[in-house]
C-alpha cells in the first residue's frame, strides 16, 4: 500500500514527465531576475508616487500559496527578501504559459516577468506576462499556517524549518550580523584575524575531553582542538600583538540546551593589556554589537530583560560564591574539607573532584543561574586556572574573570601567564591531578608551547567568548540548537 507521500510524489513525478514531453525543462540552468520581491515593491511605490514610469520587472522565488479563481489565479511568491503576490490572468498569458500555470505546485521555484500594481485591497502584486519553471518540487511542504513545529524535523531538515518558519531565518541572519559586527569591532581596534590548526598532536588550552582521529599517512593519532589558546599565544610570542580567531572547537562531552559537541569560539589576545583592559573591551564589544545588530542594548531572554549597557557589575568570585552558596571556599582550602562542607549542606558531591572542580561546582550550582544581567566574576583560585597569571601579593589567586549573562557563562579571560618555568610547573600539577582522577585521555604537556614561552611572551590579556551563547542571548533563544544550523543529533533509525 503506497503511503500518501508516495502518492503525492508519484503524481508530481508524472507531472514532471508531462512537462518534459511538452518540451519544458523542469530544471533550467538559469533565470535572470531584475528585482527581488522587496525591490519590486519599492519600485511599485516609486511608480505610484510618479517618480518613474517604465516598471516591468522579473522576479524569482518559491511558490508558497495558490488561489485559482477561474480566469484568474493568485500566487504568493517568496524570495530571500520577502514575498509578493502574482496575478495571472488567462487573457494575458500564452497558451503554453497557461498550461504551465496549471502544473505549478506549491513549493515550485519559478521566475516571472510582469508589471507591479496594487489590488483593490492594497496588496502589492505583479501582473504576470510570462512565467518560467525553474525547479519542480516533488515533496509537499509543511502546512502553511502552523508552519513546521516538530523540533526533531526542524533540526534534521533545517531547510524546511527555514522555508516554513520566518523566525528561524531571522535568527541565522542575526547570527551572521553578530559575527560580522565582532570582526568589525576587533579589526577597528587593530586586531588581525588568524587561523590555527584544528588537528593537533595534543589538545590543550582547556580541560575537556577531545575527539580523537587518526592520520593515515603519518600513522598517528591527532586530536580535534578543544581551545584556540595555545596557538594564539605562540603568535603573541611571534610579535603579532593583537590577534583573534573565530573558530570551531570540539569537546567530546554531553549535549544539552547549552552544549553542542562542536561550537564556535572567539579568542583574542592583546599584548601589553591585562584582564582589566579585556573586561573593558568585552563589555564595550557586546554593547556595540547589540546596538549595531538589534538597535538596542536590551534583549528579552526567557522571562527576563537583559541590558548590555556598560559598565557591568564586577564581583570577586569568592565574594559571589559566599553570597549565593553561604560557603566561603577560602576557609576550606583542601578538597576533603570543602567536600565535607558541601555535603553538610546537602549537596551530592563526586568524590573524584579536586578542590578546583568543587569550587567550580559551587559556582555552577549557586551563582551562575542567578547571574541574569551581565556580570563579571573576578580573581579565581590559581588551581582552577593553569594558564593565568597570579595576582601580585596574592599567591593563590589569578587575574582571571568570567562574564555571565542569562544564567550562562559567556566569556572567560585572564592576564596570561608568561613565565615559562611557572607554566611548566602548573601543567605538571594539572597532569598529576588528572592522573589521580583517572581521566580517560592522558594529558600530554605541549612542549612546543613551553618552548615558545621561553623565548619571551609580553604581558598579555586574553579572552575567550562562546559565540553560540552570545548569539542565544542576542536573539533571545534559550536552546543552543536554535542558533546552530545543523546541531548534533542522534542518528534516526
| Residues 254-293 interacting with RNA (rule: CB under 7 A) | 254-261, 263
Number of Cβ within 10 Å of residue 300's Cβ equals: 9
**CB of 185 or CB of 366, closer to RNA:** 366
Q: How many residues bind RNA (CB under 7 A)?
A: 82
Helix (H) or strand (E) segment spanning residue 87: strand 82-89
Place of cell 621561553: 454
**CB of 190 or CB of 493, closer to RNA:** 493
Based on the shown chain and the rule CB under 7 A, indicate whether residue 148 belongs to the binding site for RNA.
Answer: yes
246 touches 179 (CB < 8 A): yes
As a whole number of angstroms, the distance between CA 262 and CA 273 comes to: 30
Based on the shown chain and the rule CB under 7 A, indicate whether residue 414 belongs to the binding site for RNA.
Answer: no
DSSP alpha helices (H): ranges in 32-114? 37-48, 95-103
150 touches 489 (CB < 8 A): no
The verdict on whether omega for the bond into residue 311 sits within 30 degrees of 0, i.e. cis, is yes
Place of cell 524549518: 161
**CB of 161 or CB of 270, closer to RNA:** 161
Based on the shown chain and the rule CB under 7 A, indicate whether residue 38 belongs to the binding site for RNA.
Answer: no
**CB of 237 or CB of 375, closer to RNA:** 375
Number of Cβ within 10 Å of residue 22's Cβ equals: 11
Site map (CB under 7 A) of RNA, residues 456-475, x = contact: ----------x-xx------
Q: How far is the CB of 458 from RNA (least distance, A)?
A: 25
The only residue of 16, 38, 140, 291 in contact with RNA, by rule CB under 7 A:
140
The only residue of 33, 115, 175, 251 in contact with RNA, by rule CB under 7 A:
251
Residues 197-236 that bind RNA (CB under 7 A): 206-208
Q: How far is the CB of 133 from RNA (least distance, A)?
A: 14
**CB of 4 or CB of 95, closer to RNA:** 4
| Assigned C-alpha cell, 441 | 585521555
Q: How far is the CB of 408 from RNA (least distance, A)?
A: 7
Contacts of 225 (CB under 8 A, 6+ apart): 196, 197, 198, 199, 200, 203, 205, 210, 247, 249, 250
Site map (CB under 7 A) of RNA, residues 77-116, x = contact: --------x-x-x-x-------------xx----------
Stretch that binds RNA, among 49-57, 59-67, 186-194, 213-221 (CB under 7 A): 59-67
CA angle 259, 209, 333 (to 5 degrees): 95
Q: How far is the CB of 230 from RNA (least distance, A)?
A: 14
Stretch that binds RNA, among 148-156, 182-190, 278-286, 451-459 (CB under 7 A): 148-156
Residues 359-398 that bind RNA (CB under 7 A): 360-361, 364-365
Contacts of 303 (CB under 8 A, 6+ apart): none
Q: How far is the CB of 345 from RNA (least distance, A)?
A: 13
Contacts of 4 (CB under 8 A, 6+ apart): none
Number of Cβ within 10 Å of residue 103's Cβ equals: 17
Q: How far is the CB of 32 from RNA (least distance, A)?
A: 26
Based on the shown chain and the rule CB under 7 A, indicate whether residue 143 belongs to the binding site for RNA.
Answer: yes
Place of cell 528585482: 35
Based on the shown chain and the rule CB under 7 A, indicate whether residue 159 belongs to the binding site for RNA.
Answer: no
234 to 135, 217, 386, 391, 457: CA distances (angstroms): 51, 27, 17, 23, 8
Amino acid at each position: 500500500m503506497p503511503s500518501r507521500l508516495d502518492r503525492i510524489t508519484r503524481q508530481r513525478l508524472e507531472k514532471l514527465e508531462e512537462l518534459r514531453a511538452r518540451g519544458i525543462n523542469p530544471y533550467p540552468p538559469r533565470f535572470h531576475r531584475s528585482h527581488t520581491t522587496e525591490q519590486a515593491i519599492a519600485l511599485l511605490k516609486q511608480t505610484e508616487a510618479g517618480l518613474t514610469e517604465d516598471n516591468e520587472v522579473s522576479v524569482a522565488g518559491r511558490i508558497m500559496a495558490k488561489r485559482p479563481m477561474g480566469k484568474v489565479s493568485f500566487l504568493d511568491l517568496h524570495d530571500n527578501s520577502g514575498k509578493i503576490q502574482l496575478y495571472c490572468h488567462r487573457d494575458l498569458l500564452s497558451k503554453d504559459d497557461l498550461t504551465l500555470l496549471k502544473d505549478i505546485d506549491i513549493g515550485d521555484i519559478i521566475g516571472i516577468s510582469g508589471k507591479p500594481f496594487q489590488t483593490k485591497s492594497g496588496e502589492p502584486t505583479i501582473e504576470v506576462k510570462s512565467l518560467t519553471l525553474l525547479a519542480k518540487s516533488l515533496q509537499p511542504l509543511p502546512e502553511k499556517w502552523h508552519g513546521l513545529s516538530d523540533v526533531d524535523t526542524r533540526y534534521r531538515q533545517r531547510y524546511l524549518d527555514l522555508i516554513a518558519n520566518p523566525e528561524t531565518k531571522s535568527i541565522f541572519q542575526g547570527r551572521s550580523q553578530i559575527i560580522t559586527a565582532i570582526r568589525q569591532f576587533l579589526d577597528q581596534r587593530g586586531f588581525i584575524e588568524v587561523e590555527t590548526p584544528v588537528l593537533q598532536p595534543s589538545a590543550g588550552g582547556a580541560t575537556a575531553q577531545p575527539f580523537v582521529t587518526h592520520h593515515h599517512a603519518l600513522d598517528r593519532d591527532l586530536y580535534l582542538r578543544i581551545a584556540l589558546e595555545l596557538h594564539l599565544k605562540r603568535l603573541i610570542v611571534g610579535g603579532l600583538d593583537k590577534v583573534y580567531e573565530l573558530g570551531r572547537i570540539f569537546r567530546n562531552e554531553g549535549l544539552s540546551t547549552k552544549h553542542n559537541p562542536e561550537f564556535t569560539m572567539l579568542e583574542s589576545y592583546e599584548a601589553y593589556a591585562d584582564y582589566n583592559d579585556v573586561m573593558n573591551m568585552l563589555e564595550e564589544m557586546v554593547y556595540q554589537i547589540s546596538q549595531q545588530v538589534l538597535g538596542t542594548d536590551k534583549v528579552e531572554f526567557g522571562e527576563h530583560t537583559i541590558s548590555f549597557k556598560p559598565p557591568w557589575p564586577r564581583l570577586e568570585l569568592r565574594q559571589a560564591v559566599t553570597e549565593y552558596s553561604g560557603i566561603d571556599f577560602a576557609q576550606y582550602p583542601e578538597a576533603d574539607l570543602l567536600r565535607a562542607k558541601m555535603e553538610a549542606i546537602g549537596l551530592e558531591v563526586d568524590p573524584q573532584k579536586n578542590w578546583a572542580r568543587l569550587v567550580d561546582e559551587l559556582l555552577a550550582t549557586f551563582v551562575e543561574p542567578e547571574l541574569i544581567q551581565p556580570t563579571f566574576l573576578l580573581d579565581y583560585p590559581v588551581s582552577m586556572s593553569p594558564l593565568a597569571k597570579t595576582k601580585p601579593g596574592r599567591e593563590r589567586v589569578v587575574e582571571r574573570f568570567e562574564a555571565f549573562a542569562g544564567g550562562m557563562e559567556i566569556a572567560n579571560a585572564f592576564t596570561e601567564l608568561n613565565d615559562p618555568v611557572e607554566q611548566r610547573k602548573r601543567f605538571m600539577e594539572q597532569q598529576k591531578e588528572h592522573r589521580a582522577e583517572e581521566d580517560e585521555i592522558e594529558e600530554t604537556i605541549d612542549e612546543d608551547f613551553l618552548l615558545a614561552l621561553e623565548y619571551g611572551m609580553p604581558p598579555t590579556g586574553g579572552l575567550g567568548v562562546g559565540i553560540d551563547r552570545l548569539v542565544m542571548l542576542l536573539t533571545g533563544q534559550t536552546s543552543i540548537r536554535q542558533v546552530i544550523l545543523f546541531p548534533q543529533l542522534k542518528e534516526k533509525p
